[in-house]
Structure 1
Amino acid sequence: MSHLFRQTAYSAEALRLNDTSRKEFITHLVDYGCDASVIPLPYLPGDYKVIFVLVIGKTQKKDMPFFSKVSLKDLAENTLEITGSKCNITYVLEP
């Protein structure tokens, strides 16, 4: 999970701070069939919310390992706040 959180931090920074990376990302999305307007320009990160969905089994608690919590806290309070994005986490029970 910590790796997922770090990937999110990098993506948020790249989308917010680097016009070239953002344009390349939009090009890749179009290549995969998405509409180019899925990320409108100018990009305003405050218009979006990053939602982490953790799938858990019926007997598992809504919890995560300690260092994953530390990574998520750092991501939410530092990277996403600095880039202007919002963050939320939710759990889904596997069927």
Structure 2
Amino acid sequence: MSFSFPDASAESGSARRLSDDDEAGESVRRHEFNFYKARQAATGRELAQSVTEVSKGLVFVKKGLADVVAARENFEERLLQQLADLETSLRAETTSREE
């Protein structure tokens, strides 16, 4: 009965394969992480661009609302003046009819 020791070179080869597998796995993880970072950065830029567009839109809406408020106030002032003129005319008419 003969007994043989395991071949040391075979163990070295399998250790080398494990090391290569670890390096390959690390490389894949690094690439995945870099991809994730790039995707997050792109998403951040897209969100920043969207916020900028919304801000510009809000400025436009604010200006439009200010114009509407000014027009409404102008209309209200003219309407009140016309009502005052009408009231004065009616009072003058009723006064002249009473005499």
Normalized per residue, the structure richer in helix is 2
Normalized per residue, the structure richer in strand is 1
TM over 0.5: no
- Larger relative contact order (CA 8 Å, sep ≥ 6): 1
With the length of structure 2 as denominator, give the TM-score of the two structures: 0.19
